[in-house]
């Protein structure tokens, strides 16, 4: 239970040692009590954010949406292609040096089984390749999973 009492010395500053109950000398012993310390550090409940008028349009994250232009769409398509190229490059290195292992160690160009030896990279790459629409990787990873797991 919680019990609050009236503090007889409202202007007294409480030290860190008094808060944590560390007594350095006898004069602190008489003036420290648990309820007084608790009252000093009891905080008020946080204020709720102000209510906006109903005609104000704001998204959930506070950013107003601006419709995309044709240039923005071509920029995103270019970025998507770069991500696909990076994924394909990483997959080809994994397939060449560490197919079936959990991870590829790129400097030594060999695979290691640090995650149980179940071919974690193959399993992870399978759904990523499906989402990206890279059918060649889906076929390779799918056949490996079918044969080995």
Spatial separation of the C-alpha atoms in residues 144 and 120, rounded to whole Å: 12
pTM given for the model: 0.53
- Dump the DSSP string for the chain: -------S-TTPPPPHHHHTT---SHHHHHH--HHHHHHHHPPPPPPPPPPPPTT----TTS-------HHHHHHHHHHHHHHHHHHHHHHHHHHHHHTTSSEEETTTTEEE--S-SS-HHHHHHHHHHHHHT-HHHHHHHHHHHHHH-
- In the predicted structure, residue 33 carries a pLDDT above the cut 80: no
pLDDT at position 95? 94
- In the predicted structure, residue 27 carries a pLDDT above the cut 50: no
- In the predicted structure, residue 32 carries a pLDDT above the cut 60: no
Highest mean pLDDT among 18-27, 84-93, 113-122: 84-93
First to last CA, the chain: 56
- In the predicted structure, residue 127 carries a pLDDT above the cut 90: yes
Can you tell me which residue has the tokens 């394909």? 88
Average pLDDT of the residues in 22-34: 51
pLDDT at position 30? 47
């Amino acid at each position: 239970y919680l019990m609050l009492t009236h503090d007889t010395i409202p202007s007294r500053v409480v030290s860190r040692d008094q808060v944590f109950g560390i007594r350095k000398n006898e004069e602190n012993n008489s003036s420290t009590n648990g309820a007084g310390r608790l009252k000093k550090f009891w905080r008020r409940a946080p204020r709720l954010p102000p209510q906006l008028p109903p005609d104000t349009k704001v998204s959930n994250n506070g950013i107003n949406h601006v419709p995309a232009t044709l240039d923005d769409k071509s920029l995103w398509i270019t970025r998507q292609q770069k991500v696909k190229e990076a994924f394909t490059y990483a997959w080809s290195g994994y397939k060449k040096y560490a197919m079936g292992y959990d991870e590829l160690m790129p400097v030594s160009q060999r695979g290691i089984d640090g995650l149980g030896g179940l071919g974690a990279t193959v399993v992870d790459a399978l759904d990523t390749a499906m989402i990206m629409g890279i059918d060649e990787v889906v076929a390779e990873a799918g056949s490996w999973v079918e044969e080995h797991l």
